[in-house]
Amino acid sequence: MTDEYVIETRGLTKVFGAKRAVDDLNLQVRRGSVFGFLGPNGAGKTTTIKMLLGLTKPTSGEARVLGLDVRERSVEVRRRVGVVAEDAPLYDHMTVAETLAFASRLAADWDDQRAAKYMDIFRLPMQARVRDLSRGMRGQLALILALTPEPELLILDEPTAGLDPVMRREFLSTVLDEVTARGGTVFMSSHVLAEVERVADTVGIINKGKLLMVKDMTELKETEKKVRVHFQVEPDPAIFQHPGIASVEGQGRRYIVTVTSDLEGVLERLRTVPHFVIDVVDLNLEEIFMQYTGGKSGVRIQ
Amino acid sequence: MFGFSSGLAWKELSEIRWKVIVSFLVLAVLGVSLVVLYGYISDLLLTVPLPEVFRDQITWQMADFSRYLYANWYSKNLYQVATVIALIMGMNAVAGEVSRKTISFLLSFPLSRGQMAWTKYLVGLLALWVVIVGATLILLGSAVVAGRTVDTPYLLAGLPASLAGAAFLYSLSFLFSVVTRDGVKALAASGIIALALAVPSWFGRLRELSVFTLMSSATTLVTGQVEWARTLVFLALSLVIYAAAAYKLQREDF
């Protein structure tokens, strides 16, 4: 394991009874990146994050965060990592001011001036009880608590769930401005694909505990394409037997082919059949995600 | 297992402050009532025929104000109310964090589970002891204000046993708070165990094993001497139960 990566897992597995919540996860998150960890509900995102923070013990495998073994040194890990957990669990009976005071006593490297700067950005009412804050304001308060110690790594677990689009944008802008500008790393789990597409430079997709792929966002968009093809004659199904083809929809002479690699090779193969049109279309992240998680019906080429 | 976090202690104190205040007020009112009622009870007993089995004992207790106060404070009121307070103090120590889902927030700070366990345990225990000691001092103070002559060393001799017994019951409740992760279940489980622990006190040979026999401090009532040996045994048992709770907490997934 090297300094280049802030998160590294090898064979990380968590089993709850008969369910493998996380299954043999091998993940590397590069220092300074914004990593989008995508997956449907129950895919294993939160369990992975809890293992990275030492809240949940792995059944097997190993995980290092900032080079530290999370089994042995989880306190040190949490000293250097900021966390915004799903639904921003906070003490409802405390006021915003009391919550900040509480965090200042427990967090490492707390800076009141920095906290005040974030309070100015989000304009939260200091004397309001946490229970009276809107969901968005709770998320903002949780973000202030996580950002104030200037963590090397910020872990966000579904941070914008329940926020309206304007608030979501403001939230993520603050994260990007504050963390990536000073060379920090953001690891963000989400199932809101649009926001991940906007902010992440690397994407990992997990489903049913299995990591299905990790790719650089630019590379992902370059390699993952959809090809619309209208053949002049009905093709032999064998034409679609190519390792770069992930799925094929359609029948007769019209097909939509999803390509995950070797676009040129696939096009060359399709062009061997007489055709009227072969059209290459970019996939957005949502379509790529659906492709990997099987969220869309379609003929999956074995 | 024994690390302490002052930041967490502040939060714990703030969360249990109403339990502490209400418990203290209940016990203090009971204490003052005992002082105020002494004259009335003495007069009443002169007019009411007492059952023969209790007559000698009651007459002996009522003959001396300090003895009356001791018997009615330690052997009747304090241990019963302190038992309830101890179980209530411990029930939500960890279970409350789990049910409110704040445990993941708390453990997102650089705080070890040992620090969390010991800080929560210690704050609850000290608060419980402050309530017991404070109410006992109110009892003594109100006796002085009422112009009664009080044997203070004799009346304070029952405190160590009460504190040790309360610590034992609080530790049980704390353990179940970790094990069940549910405050109500923790209260029910530790309440049932506490009731079961009362059983030995019904049998002559087993009496000494009961935590309630210790807390009611009948031996000290007669001798005026602190029961150090049994007090220390129950304090040690409290620590063993805490260690079991801390061990369990180390292995929990949140």
From the list B7, B108, B112, which residue is nearest A105 (CB)?
B7
Which chain A residues touch B104 with a CB distance below 8 Å? Answer: 50, 55, 85, 89
- Number of A to B CB contacts under 8 A, please give it: 63
Closest CA to A160 of A136, A133, A185: A136
- Does residue A295 have a pLDDT over 70? no
From the list B14, B104, B110, which residue is nearest A75 (CB)?
B110
Q: Supply the DSSP symbol for A162.
A: T
Instruction: Tell me if B7 and A102 make a contact (CB, 8 A cut-off).
Output: yes
ipTM for this prediction = 0.85
What mean pLDDT comes out for the span A75-90?
93
Site from A80, A90, A91 to mutate, B interface, most B CB atoms within 10 angstroms: A91
Instruction: Tell me if B10 and A57 make a contact (CB, 8 A cut-off).
Output: no
Q: How far apart are CA A33 and CA A144, in angstroms?
A: 20
A7 confidence band (pLDDT: 50, 70, 90): very high
pLDDT of B80: 93
Which chain A residues touch B3 with a CB distance below 8 Å? Answer: none
Closest CA to A186 of A165, A157, A208, A215: A157
SS3 A241: coil
Does A216 reach chain B within 8 Å, measured CB to CB? no
Instruction: Tell me if B109 and A50 make a contact (CB, 8 A cut-off).
Output: no
Find out whether A35 and A60 touch, Cβ atoms under 8 Å.
Answer: no
> Using one digit for the tens of pLDDT, what is the confidence trace for A43-64?
999 999 999 999 999 999 999 9
* Cα separation values, A270 from A35, A224, B109, B126, Å: 35, 17, 56, 78
pLDDT higher at A261 or B139: B139
**Residue of chain A nearest B101, judged by CA positions:** A89
**Residue of chain A nearest B10, judged by CA positions:** A102
- Does residue A32 have a pLDDT over 80? yes
pLDDT of A298: 36
Instruction: Tell me if A78 and B10 make a contact (CB, 8 A cut-off).
Output: no
Q: How far apart are CA B228 and CA A206, in angstroms?
A: 61
pLDDT means over runs of 10, chain B (254 residues): 91 96 97 93 82 80 91 92 96 95 94 96 98 97 94 94 97 97 96 89 80 87 89 96 97 92
SS3 A281: strand
- What's the pTM value of the predicted model, to 2 decimals? 0.87
Which chain A residues touch B107 with a CB distance below 8 Å? Answer: 53-55, 78
Q: What share of chain A is helix, strand, coil (3-state, %, to 5)?
A: 35, 30, 35
> Using one digit for the tens of pLDDT, what is the confidence trace for A97-126?
999 999 999 998 899 999 999 999 888 999
Instruction: Tell me if A102 and B10 make a contact (CB, 8 A cut-off).
Output: yes
Instruction: Tell me if B102 and A91 make a contact (CB, 8 A cut-off).
Output: yes
- What average pLDDT is seen over chain A? 89
Which residues 60-99 of A are in CB contact (within 8 Å) with B?
75-76, 78-79, 83, 85, 87, 89-93, 98
Reported as type and span, the H/E element at residue A45 is helix A45-52
Q: How far apart are CA A78 and CA A60, in angstroms?
A: 21
Q: How far apart are CA A39 and CA A60, in angstroms?
A: 22
pLDDT of B13: 96
pLDDT of A2: 60
pLDDT of A299: 34
pLDDT of A286: 79
Reported as type and span, the H/E element at residue A226 is strand A225-231
Instruction: Tell me if A91 and B108 make a contact (CB, 8 A cut-off).
Output: no
Least confident of A29-33, A59-63, A136-140, B45-49: B45-49
pLDDT of B158: 93
Q: How far apart are CA A43 and CA A52, in angstroms?
A: 16
Q: Which are the contacts of B153, defined by CB distance < 8 A and separation ≥ 6? A: B224
A176 confidence band (pLDDT: 50, 70, 90): confident
